[in-house]
Structure 1
Amino acid sequence: MSFKKDLNNIHDKSYKDLFSTNDAFLSFVNTFIQGEWVDKLEKDKLILVDKSYILSDYEELESDIVYNATIGEQNIIFYVLLELQSSVDHSMPIRLLMYMVELWREILRNSEKKEIKRKSYRLPAIVPIVLYNGTKKWTCARNFKDIINESQLFGDNILDFKYILVDINSYSKEYLYEFKNIAAAIFLLDQDINAMEFLERLKNIVINFSNLTSEEKLLLKGWIKNTTNSDEIYDMNKLVDDIFNESKKEEVEIMVSNASNIFGKLKSDGIKEGKKEGKAELLITQLKKRFNGLSDYYTDKIRSLPEGVIDKIAADIFDLEKVEDIKKYL
C-alpha cells in the first residue's frame, strides 16, 4: 500500500477545499500562472462560484473550481479543471470548450435580451486552467485548433484558445521552496515522492513556511490527512497534529527524524513496496506479450493490487483467454 491515497475524488475534494478560500486561490494564481493580468487580481474581488460544470460522464474522473473576478471594469471567469489521474486524456481541449460554452450559455440565459443585442455588450473572458498531478508527461494538445483536422488551412477563421497547464510534478522542489506559501506547500507534498522525502519536505514546510496563516495551516493539515494513509507513516494524523502544534524548531526535527519508530518502519515498508512493484511490472510485461498490448486501465489497476492478487494472476496467466478475463481479479 502506498502512503498516499490513490482515490481521485479524495484528491479532488481536498483541492476544492483548499481553493475555496480566496487567499489560497490567489496564492495559486500568483505562484504558478504568468500574465500581466495576474498582478491586477485582488483578493476581495474574487468570488467562488458554488456550481460544477463537469459532464456526467466525467464526474468520477475530475472536478472543477470556478471563480468570478473583476479587474477594473472587466469581469473574468477562472475555470480550473482538476485532472488528478494517472493518465493523460487527449479529449481535454474538447471538454474545456464544452464547459466554457456552458458557462457563457448560463450568462446569456440570465441576461436581458436588450442588453445582449447592444453593440457594447461583451461576454466575460474565461481563463481555462488545467491542474494535473499525474506522473506521465502531459502530451495533450494545448491549443484547441491543434485537434481540428487541417486547421492550418483556415488560419484565423476557425475557433481557437490555449488553456493554462499547471503540471504539479514539473516543478523542482527548489523552485517551490522559494515561495513559502500554501500553494507551494501543497505542491511540494503532492509530487511523486516516496514517504521519506514526504516527511523531509513536511518538516521543512513546518519550520520554514512561517508566514502561513492559522487558516492556511488548518487547510494544509486537512489536505495531508485526507490524502495520506495514516497508518503507513507511523500514524500520520497524530504526527501532523503534533508538529503543527510545536513552536520549537528542534522539537519538530526530533519528531520527524525519530529513526527508531518512523524511518525504520518506512525502510521496511519501502522494501515490501519495491518487491510488490517489481512483481506488478513483470506481470504487466507478460500480459502485454500475451495479449499484444495492455490498456492504461489494466496497468493502473494491476499496480494498485495487493501482492497476493498479483501472484494469483501470474499463476493463472495461461488460463486467461482474453484480456477482459483480468477483471475478475480486480
Structure 2
Amino acid sequence: MFEFHPANPHDHFFRRTFDVLPNARALLKSQLPAELVAKLDLQSIQPAKETFLTATDNESRLDLLFTARLLDGTSLLIYLLLEHKSWVDRRIALQLLKYVLRIQEWRDRNGQPPCVVIPLVVYQGTQEWDEPTSLRHKVNADQDLQGFVPDMQVILVDLGGVKSSFLPELPELEARIRAMQIARRPELPYQSTVAIFELLQGWEKSDSQNDALNDIVVYLCSVFDAKNLHWLTQAFRAGQAPGSGKLMPNCLEALYEQGIEQGIEQGIEKGLAQGRIIGSIQTMQRILDLPVTPEPELLSRSLDELRAIAAQLESSAGKR
C-alpha cells in the first residue's frame, strides 16, 4: 500500500530519495568541493548508526548523517551532514553549530578524538536563500573581534539552481530532483512533468526506476490537488516511447482503485483549515508585536501543532 498523503510530503520524499545510498553518494560527489572529492573514498560513504537529534528538536527538521574515510586510509572520520530546508531558516547557523557540538561531545564521551564535520544544507524553498550559514557573518563585530566568534564552513545546495542532466548515469535521481524542483510551484507544470517521466522509460525493467516513478507520483499527488491526477496520467503516457504499450504504474492504478481522489479532496479541505489557522497565527503575532513566522515554516507543522500555537497566542493576547 502507498502512503498517498504523507505528513510533510517534501521531507518524506527527500528522505525516500536520499535514504537510497547511491543517490546520497551521487549528491555528495556532485556538491562537495572537487579537492575533497579527489581525496574521498566515495564507496566508504555509509549511513551513520547514531542520531543526534533530540526530543526537543523541531519535528519538521530532517537530517541524514553519513560517515566516510579518505582514499589513503587515514583514520580520520568524516561526518557528512545533510539538512533539508523547505524555507529560509534564520536559525540555521546556530542549529548547525549545536548539531556539530553534539557529535563532538558524543565522540568525547566515547573516548574518540574530534572529527571533521561537513554540513550540507539542501534548500528546496521558492524564495531566494539570503540567510548567512555562518555565525561569524551574523555577528556585528569589528574585524579584529571576528576571530572570537565560533564558525565553520557550510555548503548550501539550492535545488532550484541544480541544472538538468547533471548526473546522466542516474536518470532516476535526476527525475527525483526535478520533481522536487517543480513541487514548490503553485500549479503542476505539464511539460516539466512529461520530461520527468521521459527519464523513467525503463521503469518496468528497473527496480530503482519503478521505485522512483511510484515515489514521484505519490509525492506530486500529495503536493498538488485532485484535479491534477488526470494531468499526471496524461503526462505519464506522453512521457513513454511511442508504441511502447506500457501499462500504468501500480501507484497510478491504485490512485483510482482505492478512491484516493476522495482522499486528496479531504486533504484539500485539511489544507484550507490549515490556511485559516496560519492566518490567525500571523495576525495575532502582529497584534502582539511578535516576529511573524514565515508561512512555509508554518505549513510544515501539523494541524495539532498549529492549533497549539494559536491557543498559546490567544492566551497571551487575553492577558494583555
TM band (smaller chain) = 0.5 to 0.7
Report the TM-score, using the length of structure 1 for normalisation: 0.63
- What's 1:248 paired with? 241
Letter in structure 1 aligned against 2:241? K
- CA separation in 2, counterparts of 1:210 and 1:42? 32
Q: In the alignment, which of 127, 152, 174 is matched to residue 184 of structure 1?
A: 174
**Unmatched tracts of structure 1, length 5 or more:** 117-122, 256-268, 270-275, 305-322
Asked if 2 retains the 8 angstrom alpha-carbon contact of 1:225 and 1:236, the reply is no
Contact 1:46 1:69 in 2 (8 A): yes
Give the drift of 1:161.
1.0
Counterpart of 1:313 in structure 2 is: none
Q: What amino acid does structure 2 have at the position aligned with 1:98?
A: K
% identical aligned pairs: 16
**SS in structure 2 at match of 1:36:** helix
Q: Tell me which residue corresponds to 1:12.
A: 11
Q: Which amino acid aligns with 1:105?
A: E
CA RMSD across the alignment: 4.9
Structure 1 pair 95–164 and aligned structure 2 pair: CA distance change class (3 A) = same
CA contact (8 A) 1:151 1:158 kept: no
Matched length: 274
Match of 1:146 in 2: 137
Aligned residue number for residue 68 of structure 2: 69
Which residue does the alignment assign to 1:135?
A: 126
Change in 2 beyond 3 A, CA 1:41/1:18: farther
* 1:247 positional shift: 6.2
Which of 158, 161, 183 matches 1:171?
161
* Alpha-carbon offset, residue 252 of structure 1: 8.5
- The 8 Å contact of residues 229 and 236 in structure 1, kept in 2 or not, is answered as no
Task: Find the structure with the greater CA-based Rg.
Answer: 1
Structure 1 residue aligned with 2:104: 104
CA distance in 2 between counterparts of 1:252 and 1:34 reads: 44
Select the residue among 232, 239, 242 that pairs with 2:226: 232
Partner of 1:202: 193
Deviations 1:187-215 (A, max 9, x none): 21112335442x42232233246799934
Indicate conservation of the 8 Å contact 1:18/1:219, yes or no.
Answer: no
SS of 1:141's partner is: coil
C-alpha contact 2:42 2:68 (8 A) present in aligned 1: no
Q: Deviations over 1:47-86 (max 9, x none)?
A: 10144323434332211000001112342110111123x4
Contact 2:66–2:79, Cα closer than 8 Å, also in 1: yes
- Give the distance between the partners of 2:124 and 2:232, measured in 1 at CA: 26
